[in-house]
Structure 1
Amino acid sequence: MTSPPPPRSPSPSHHRSLRAELEALTTEAFRPELAEIDQLPTLDIGRLMNTEDTRVPTAVAERLPEIAAAIDAVAERMARGGRLVYAGAGTAGRLGVLDASECPPTFNTRPEQVVGLIAGGPRAVVTSVEGAEDSREQAEADLDALGLGADDTVVGISASGRTPYAIGAVEHARARGALTIGLACNAGSALAAAAEHGIEVVVGPELLTGSTRLKAGTAQKLVLNMISTITMIRLGKTYGNLMVDVRASNDKLRARSHRIVALATGAGDEEIEAALAATDGEVKNAILTLLADVDGLTAARLLGESGGRLRAALASATERGTETETG
C-alpha cells in the first residue's frame, strides 16, 4: 500500500498574492515612525502603547448602532432558546472562548448556551495549531457537531476579516438559517460581507506591525463584552446593574451573592442568610422572597412564570398582593 503524496507547497505566485492581500489591510500596515521603537526607554514605549489603546473605545463607539442591532437580534433568538456561538482563530478564537467560558459563572447560563469555537480545537487555546485557521471545512464540521438551528447565532471573529475559518463558519451558519455576525477590524472585509450583521471596528495599524493581539484584540474584547453582557441584560439576567443570576460556586462568589441581595433589598445579614438558605443560594429567588414577602417555593414559581425576569416577578407578586387585599 503506497503512502499518499505529500501536500504540495503553495506556489511563489500564491505567496505574492497573499503578501499583497496583507499589505492592503489596515491592521497589517507598517508605521515607519515607530521603526526604532526598540531603542526607546521602557517608559516611553509604555506611553506610546497607552496612547494607542485610547483610540480603541472611540473606534468601537463609531460602530455602536451596528452592535446594538446585532445584540437585539441575538437576544430575540436566545429568548426562544437559541445559542450564542463564537468562531475564530488565534487571538480572535481565544477571545471568543474566554467570553463564552465566563457566561456560566456570571449569568448562570448552561455551558451549551454560549459556546466558543476555535480553529484547531481546545488545544489551540494555549498553543498554536499550524494551518487551522485556513480550514473552512473544519469550521463547518465544528458547527455541524453542535446541531445548529435557526434560533442560534454564530459570531465570526477575525481581526483581518479574511480568516477562512471565521468566514466559513459564518457562511455555513447562514446557509443553515442561523443568525450571523461578522466582527472584523478592517473596512470592506469579506467576513462582514458574509454576515447579516457586519461590525467593522477599524482601530488602525498596530504598534508592532501586524500584531493584532494589541488594539484589534482589545477592540474585539470590548465588542464581545457588549454582545454577551447586553444580551443577558435583555434576557432579564440582571436586576439593574446587579448580577442576580450569578452562580455562587466559590467563597468569593458566595460573598458576592450575599452583597448583591443586600444591595437589592437593604435587608440585614440574618435575613439575607435565611433567604439564601430557603432558596438554595439562588440570588434572584432570595431577593424576591425579601422584597415580595413570599416563601422560597412561591418565589421559584413566580420567576418561572415570568421567564426568570425578576422585575416581572416582583410586579406579578405586587399585583397579586393588591388583588388579595382588595378582594
Structure 2
Amino acid sequence: MPASRPNLRTIAEHLGLSVTTVSRALKDGPEVKPGTVAKVKAAAEQIGYQPDARGVMLRTGKTMQVCSILYSPEVGDYGDPGFLAQVESLAQGLEADRYSLVVLAQTSNKDPLEPVIRVHTQRMADAVVFSRTTSQDSRAKYCLQHDFPFVSFGRTELLTPHAFVDHDDEQAAYDAVKRLIADGHRKIGMIDPPENLTFFGYRKQGARRAMTEAGLDPESLIWMRSDVSVRAARDATTALFRTQRDATAIVCASQMTMIGALEALMELNMDTIRDGIGVVGFGGMPFRMLSKQKLAYYYQPQRHVGEVLARHLHDLMVGVPAQELQTLLPYRRIDDLAAFREGEDF
C-alpha cells in the first residue's frame, strides 16, 4: 500500500510542534519565531510536503496558478521557439511564490478574448499573461473591468494603466533603418505583422523617423504584412525582390521572419555579401548562422522577458500599483552572429 501523502500533521509530529504552529510557520506568520519558521520549512522540503491545491482554494479562493495564453500558430512547425524559453523562465520565476504556470493555446480562428474569459469565469488561474496586444485590446479591457490580475507582453493605448513588459521596437526600428541608410540603402522592405498589433505601430514610427531625419521620403519604405512565420516571410521576401528590382535591404520583425527572408534569398540565388543585400532581424533566441552571411540582429533574450513577467505578476498580486509595473526592454544589436557560437554571455 503506498505511503500517505505528507501533510501538516506529518511535519508537526516529526518536529514535535502543533499543527497550528506548522501552518503559521509555512505562511511566515509573525507570531512564529524566525528559527522555528526556518526549521519547519526545512522539514517540509525534506519530507516532500506540498500544499493540497484543493484545500488552498477552499480556504483562500486562490488556485495558486497563473495562465499564460499562447498564440499557437507562433509555435508550430514554422513558429517562434522564443516563446518556449519565455514560458520556462516565467514558470521558474513563479515557483518562489508556490505558483504553477498553466499554458492555454489560442488558435488562429478563435477570438483572443475567449480564452481570457474562460480562465476568469472558470477560475482556472489567479492571473493571466497574454501577448499580441492591440491599441484597444479587448482582453486588457476585460481584465481591468473585472479586476482580474494580468500582465501583458506588449503595450496598449488604454487610458487605465496596466502592467506590461514590452520591447522597445520603436527605437530598434529607428536604429536599424538609420544604419541601413548610412550603408547606402535607399529602397528598404519592412516585413511586419498585421498592423492592428501595437508593436507594428511602434516599428513604423521608428522606421519613418529614421527616413525623415535622413531627408528621405518615409513613404518609400515598402511595408509587407506577414504572419510571424518562416513560410510567410519567405513568400513576402520572394515577392519583394521579384517586383521591386531596386530593393537592397529588408528588415524582419522577428527571428522566424529573418530565417524566411534568408531562405528566399537562397532560392533567388542572392547573397547578402556578394549582392550587398542588407538583412536585419529581431529576436529573443541566440541566432547561429551555418553559412557566412552579413546580418544584423537585435536581441532581447526571451528568458529575461519571462523573468520580468514573473516579477511583475508577483508584485501585482501583492498590491503594487500597475503603473509601477511597466517595463520597456531595449534590444542589443549584434553584428557578428558568430559570437553566439563562441559562448559569449548575452
Q: TM-score, normalised by structure 2?
A: 0.35
More helix, by proportion: 1
More strand, by proportion: 2
Q: TM-score, normalised by structure 1?
A: 0.37
